[in-house]
Structure 1
Amino acid sequence: MMSNNTGMIRTLLGVALLLCGLLAVQLAVPVDGAAARKFKQKECLDCHSDFSATYQTLKNQHPGVKNNSCQDCHLSHGIVGKLLLVEGGNDLCFLCHDKQGFNLDQVTGVHSALRRGKCVTCHDPHGSDADAMLVAQGEELCFQCHERKDYTKKVVHGIIREEGCRACHDPHYSEQPQLLMTEPESLCLSCHDGDSSAFAAAHGDYPVATASCTTCHDPHSSDNAALLKASLHSPVAEAECSACHNDATDAEPFGLNSAADELCLNCHDNAGMAGEGPVGHAPFVDGSCLSCHDPHSSQQPSLLVAEGNELCFSCHADTNRKVMFPHAPITDGDGCLSCHAPHSAQLSGLLNEAEGDLCFQCHSDVKDAAEANSVMHSPFEGEMCTSCHNPHGSSAKYLFAGRPDTVCYSCHSDAEGEFERSQVHQPVRNGQCTACHFGHGADNAQLLKAEGEQLCATCHETNTTPDATATAHFPFAEGMCLTCHDPHASDNKGITTQTQKVLCLDCHSDIEASLVAAKVQHQPVTAGDCSSCHNPHQSKLNTLLQAAGPDLCLSCHDGLKTRMAEDQAHSPAARDCLRCHQPHAGEVGRLLNQPLQPLCGECHEADDANFKAAHLDIAATEMDCMSCHDPHASKDAKFFKPVMHAPFAARSCESCHAIEN
């Protein structure tokens, strides 16, 4: 079989190849003497005419544009990138431009745009009226990334005004910091004559030519004369270097004229700063002023060495965690100084005010609202806000110091163990204590957000709103949810305070008495599942039933439900199960209201002539009705069972039974 299939496949392949060959010959041979057709190369600009208008009139054009050799960079059909480029990113540029000249293998010293593979950040790949095909001319190019305001203050460095940024910076790579052309000090001295008398006089005759110019000067622009930085130490502003340093003629002119930890106190009143309180900031106590302040100049107020919070975070990194909800004073306004003193304070943590007073400076509305209540949460009453809240920020709402329940359990540890149950109220399970409780104050001892059923109704509206057309269970009607339910957790279904059987029988003692005396119990009663038949809240049916009449019973007895739907149903079974059965417990099997014969006899008169004739005049007391009849449903008009013994089907009882008069 396999060899036959192989031969057939080979035959089909041969035919296919023959047809392909004939088709190739047909295409190669001109039809009716016509010339053979072939592709003719078109120019890119035949379609991209708008490109010509945009780029071919520019002052500086890329060679590929000037020579109409678009294919130097672009593919005609496309493989890489949406622009159909031959290579992606800078790799395309390095096909022509020497990659080694940019020192991209250096960890530092490469312009960030170049390191990211984005030559087109600065250069237009087709052409530009700016030099070197830049997307903008001179410093305007730099201002696309660097903030203009830092370079356009009242006094602008002359070299920038005249020659732009490239006078000092290399646009691609440098071995110096900030991409400087040469070493910083020698760069400045390439314009400024450090040996001139004017230069020396301007600097108090100190040999600053060997110092770092940017210690005092902004290299770009400033609102101060001589490009001095925004915040100046007064000796610098007054050119009184000798206030802190040795005399200019000293062998070590830049040496300090006092010990470092005492120098600042020559001018700054230590007692005045320490007088703010006995709790001192470690750098202040240690005399390490330069940990926070620059001794000469700074772009930050108070000669700080870094911007506000960033300065604090350089030591206190733990408070700079990335959180979803940062405390507003940290991100806005005075930052850390909104709450903390920088040198010393009366309180631990260098707080400006006592914990509560400090918080209430902003959160006065919270204080007013809580104090209007009769009961206050003890941490709030004691103004211990940080017992629950993180003062810097949190990934939990309301700046909670953790998940709300873990914060609560830090005090209410006894409750945590009590809530470890099989059935846990959803807010408790989700750790949302504040779904029900106020954190600050309320008019009830449990700090509940609402009283009784009103609190439950915030989530359980359907089960807590009485229906005027329904009968309400007494606890439900009175809004006493906690009569049956535990608000936190329970080992019982429905988070009830006890098992259903015990809970229900606490009130329904009459039912309990009948159960004790009964010989037979309904399975839901035995299982203690009262709510399988009764709605514990409200119902439009008598005795708070979950469903009407037989529908309730048939919700469990589904096999009987099918038969009653498909066959002829016995009238009592179709109308009212309780006509024959007890719902809870009874003295007779199958929960019958009474023994079988008298029960059936309530409808079927045993003394009736027709009844006697149908039953061969046998006394009803001698018969078990269910031996022959189905009490619920049957396909037979007499409700006989579907499988009958042949003599019985023929009504020939005498075949098996001896009948006595």
Structure 2
Amino acid sequence: MHSTWRGIVAGLLALAALAAVPALQADDSACLMCHRDQAAKGFGLRAHGLGADPRGEQTAIGCTDCHGASEAHAASPRAAPDFTFHGEQAGAGDEACLSCHSDAGLGHWAFSEHAGTDTGCVACHSLHTPTDPIQETGGEFAVCTSCHQQEKHGQMKFSRHPMQEGLVKCSDCHAPHGGAAMNGLVQPTVNETCYQCHAEKRGPFLFEHEPVQDDCTHCHDPHASVNDQLLTARQPFLCQQCHIASRHPGTLYDDDRLGGRDINIIGQSCTNCHSQVHGGNQPASSTFRR
């Protein structure tokens, strides 16, 4: 009796295992003889695996559509598939991806920095895992900084964008598949990219601060800084890069009648008085004061 129940349970488990594996196209059935676990636990749970299932709406995707016929690999596992998407074959692998993923978001890929450095699609995206790490919370930062180490180390600085926590993503500012702007920015200019979050700095203002309107990075480091507010240098040295001594006294003087130091010049911070450095609409804003 017990042996009968054991047989029934074993049969049910076998059926469940088969159901978990996508029913790939007939010419891909040989792949499942070895890669059954990989298909069930990874590929079969993703959009590509669902597209490979003839029970679904899309039936044109299969192992051989990306990896080629791979006859030598089928004859002997020691031989690599026709396309492995790694090393020298990274470019050919991109062509396989672009044969389907050719929408407007990839229109600049051929001229992108990633394409120029032979960074293939699979360097960032994973197809045979249950989830794509780059789409998980904080995963994009980990994937990007596997190459962009300087930005990873910058997260240890005093002032930073919270990228490590996933509150700000690299793709909020950069288009990883290429863009029309410098550095693959998602907007035509640096400022337009920053204004996506810092809309209050856009203006127009009655009194404009020309360097601010030109490029935010004249004063701010977009990733991280040892100075407050992501400044590239601390005050007053940052301001004195443009406002030299001939236009403003290099020494701050006290009024003798005060009998003590003016609280506004403690720390010698220009913004103690000139707080509206991004521009303003009040009469005092002609010198960017309160």
Give TM class, smaller chain.
0.5 to 0.7
Task: Name the amino acid aligned to 2:241.
Answer: S
Q: Give the structure 2 partner of residue 281 of structure 1.
A: 113
Q: Give the structure 2 partner of residue 365 of structure 1.
A: 200
Residues 109, 178 of structure 2: 8 Å contact kept: yes
Q: Give the structure 2 partner of residue 480 of structure 1.
A: none
Query: Which of these residues, 433, 441, 444, is aligned with residue 279 of structure 2?
Result: 441
Query: Which of these residues, 46, 62, 65, is aligned with residue 240 of structure 1?
Result: 62
Residues 22, 52 of structure 2: 8 Å contact kept: no
Question: What is the distance in 2 between the residues matched to 1:199 and 1:445?
Answer: 69
Question: What is the distance in 2 between the residues matched to 1:268 and 1:299?
Answer: 20
Give runs of aligned pairs for residues 158-197 of structure 1, distance below 5 A. none
- SS of the equivalent of 2:72 reads coil
Pick closer, same or farther for the CA change 1:257–1:359 going to 2, 3 Å: closer
- Is the aligned partner of 1:381 residue 2:216? no
Deviation by residue 1:392-448 (Cα, 9 ceiling, x = unmatched): 234543332332323223333547996368999776662522111131124344322
Q: Give the structure 1 partner of residue 73 of structure 2.
A: 252
Question: What is the distance in 2 between the residues matched to 1:347 and 1:200?
Answer: 42
**Displacement of 1:341:** 0.6
**Displacement of 1:345:** 0.6
Deviation by residue 1:291-324 (Cα, 9 ceiling, x = unmatched): 11124344137778x8222111211222232234
Task: Name the amino acid aligned to 1:361.
Answer: Q
Question: What is the distance in 1 between the residues matched to 2:273 and 2:194?
Answer: 24
Q: Give the structure 2 partner of residue 206 of structure 1.
A: 30
Question: What is the distance in 2 between the residues matched to 1:199 and 1:444?
Answer: 67
Residues 389, 399 of structure 1: 8 Å contact kept: yes
Residues 24, 62 of structure 2: 8 Å contact kept: no
| Structure showing greater relative contact order (alpha-carbon pairs closer than 8 Å, 6 or more residues apart) | 2
Pick closer, same or farther for the CA change 1:298–1:395 going to 2, 3 Å: farther
- SS of the equivalent of 2:194 reads helix
Question: What is the distance in 2 between the residues matched to 1:426 and 1:279?
Answer: 54
Pick closer, same or farther for the CA change 1:356–1:236 going to 2, 3 Å: same
- Is the aligned partner of 1:345 residue 2:179? yes
Task: Name the amino acid aligned to 2:238.
Answer: V
Pick closer, same or farther for the CA change 1:435–1:272 going to 2, 3 Å: same
Question: What is the distance in 2 between the residues matched to 1:209 and 1:380?
Answer: 62
Task: Name the amino acid aligned to 1:311.
Answer: V
Which is richer in strand?
1
Give runs of aligned pairs for residues 518-557 of structure 1, distance below 5 A. none
Question: What is the distance in 2 between the residues matched to 1:426 and 1:289?
Answer: 57
Question: What is the distance in 2 between the residues matched to 1:447 and 1:215?
Answer: 63
Question: What is the distance in 1 between the residues matched to 2:67 and 2:109?
Answer: 31
Percent of residue pairs bearing the same amino acid type: 21
Q: Give the structure 1 partner of residue 235 of structure 2.
A: 404
Pick closer, same or farther for the CA change 1:283–1:215 going to 2, 3 Å: farther
Question: What is the distance in 1 between the residues matched to 2:105 and 2:135?
Answer: 16
Q: Which moved more, 1:264-273 or 1:338-347?
A: 264-273
Q: Give the structure 2 partner of residue 105 of structure 1.
A: none
Give runs of aligned pairs for residues 20-35 of structure 1, distance below 5 A. none
Structure 1, unmatched stretches of 5+, are 1-190, 219-226, 450-661
Question: What is the distance in 2 between the residues matched to 1:271 and 1:202?
Answer: 26
Question: What is the distance in 1 between the residues matched to 2:194 and 2:133?
Answer: 26
Deviation by residue 1:455-511 (Cα, 9 ceiling, x = unmatched): xxxxxxxxxxxxxxxxxxxxxxxxxxxxxxxxxxxxxxxxxxxxxxxxxxxxxxxxx
TM-score by length of 1: 0.31
Residues 235, 241 of structure 1: 8 Å contact kept: no
Structure 2, unmatched stretches of 5+, are 1-12, 54-58, 75-79, 255-260
Question: What is the distance in 1 between the residues matched to 2:118 and 2:272?
Answer: 48
TM-score by length of 2: 0.63
Deviation by residue 1:90-148 (Cα, 9 ceiling, x = unmatched): xxxxxxxxxxxxxxxxxxxxxxxxxxxxxxxxxxxxxxxxxxxxxxxxxxxxxxxxxxx
How many residues matched?
243
Pick closer, same or farther for the CA change 1:207–1:360 going to 2, 3 Å: closer
Q: Give the structure 2 partner of residue 514 of structure 1.
A: none
Question: What is the distance in 2 between the residues matched to 1:337 and 1:292?
Answer: 13
Query: Which of these residues, 125, 142, 153, is aligned with residue 310 of structure 1?
Result: 142
- Is the aligned partner of 1:319 residue 2:151? yes
